[in-house]
Amino acid sequence: MKKALLAATVVASALTASLVAAPAASATGWDLPWNNHHSRTTSIPFTEATVTAGADGRFTLKWKAQGAKRVQIKANGKVVAKGGAQGTAVVSGLPAADRQWFDFEPDRGEGLRLADRLVKLDGAVNFRDAGGYRTTTGQWVKMGEVYRSDALNKLTAADLAKLQRLRVKNVFDLRMESERTTDPDKVPAGAKYTVADVFAGSGSFQTLPKSPDEAVKAMVDAEKAMVGGEGGKKAYSQVFEGLERDRDRAVLFHCTAGKDRTGWANAALLTALGVPADTVMADYLASNDYRKAANEAVLSHLPAPQAAVYKPMLDVRAEYLNSGYDEVKAEYGTFDRYLKDGLGLDSRELKQLKKDLLVG
């Protein structure tokens, strides 16, 4: 019991697959910057494309390619599936790999290189790729360039070797000093480690909530602090500067559970790149799926009243992320102004970031 309580306390104080459908963007009470954008014709005909790895070693591939008549998919240079403009295929028998990549090749236009979003590690449950999403302009966010994760302190030697092979070169630690001291990061050899403490000086989570409603309010307030607090602005400025500056990626940012501080970092990145609001929300809420077993393990060791208080802090909820966007509107008016005035990312740097991270 003592161990479970400690685990829950750490998660609470630190803020700790089928994707859940997101509410309409208007739920935030204002027009998000991407709402008035319309898709344009790009060189990539795919409007949908996903890779989902199964526990049995099989991969489910789905796609829709507007205007194409035929699509073939390769793995390791060999054709493993064929179909029409829309299709689903299940592939098995592929050799073991750190990540299994698939090349989606239409008969007209550019192709896509995709993998399952989750990177399986022994010491982390929420380590995943930030890419693989389509933007409102019809471009796609590259995979293998930016990763998001929960804590790295339990990574094994095999995990670290895998991350080194995946070219993780720049690690941003979004955690508080107490977390970094108790559970110091393990980073792959040769990677640069940067502290980007989101809650530095904020006073967030100095006391634990006493009811589920207090817990929800604490999470909403913490999300606002990520946007408006000096620590949050500095930390996310560091992350965006690293993303824009580091052309020899991959970049990794993480916190304790990989869902709140990391969730806003990824939501801000995807929003900046032009990914639709519902897709950004779905990516954010996916932590509920990836962390399901870990969260249930914590709650199962707590008395029911205490579990009811901790559950809102273990969850990610649409109202949490939306409170971040509300804070952007209240303080900056538009998301572009948040990027420029809050995070120091000007239009030239944003254009370069899109050039680096988008295809099509």
Identify the sign of the CA torsion 325, 329, 332, 336: positive
What's the CA gap between 84 and 55, in Å, rounded?
27
Do residues 236 and 255 touch, judged by C-beta distance below 8 A?
A: no
What's the CA gap between 7 and 298, in Å, rounded?
7
- Residue 212: count other Cβ atoms within 10 Å of its Cβ: 16
Decide if 260 is catalytic: no
Q: Residues of 110-140 as b/e, b for ≥16 C-beta within 10 angstroms?
A: ebbbbbbbbbebebbbbbbbbbbbbbbbbbb
Helix, coil or strand: residue 110: coil
Strands 59-65 and 86-91: antiparallel
Q: List the structure tokens of 8.
A: 């829950």
290: nearest Cα among 282, 301, 299, 278:
282
Do residues 257 and 292 touch, judged by C-beta distance below 8 A?
A: no
What lies within 8 Å, CB to CB, of 86 at 6+ separation is: 63, 64, 65
Q: Find the Cα–Cα–Cα–Cα dihedral 173, 177, 181, 185, rounded to 10°.
A: 0
75: nearest Cα among 94, 90, 61:
94
Q: List the structure tokens of 355.
A: 């050039």
Active-site residue among 220, 255, 268, 298?
Answer: 255
Active site residues: 255
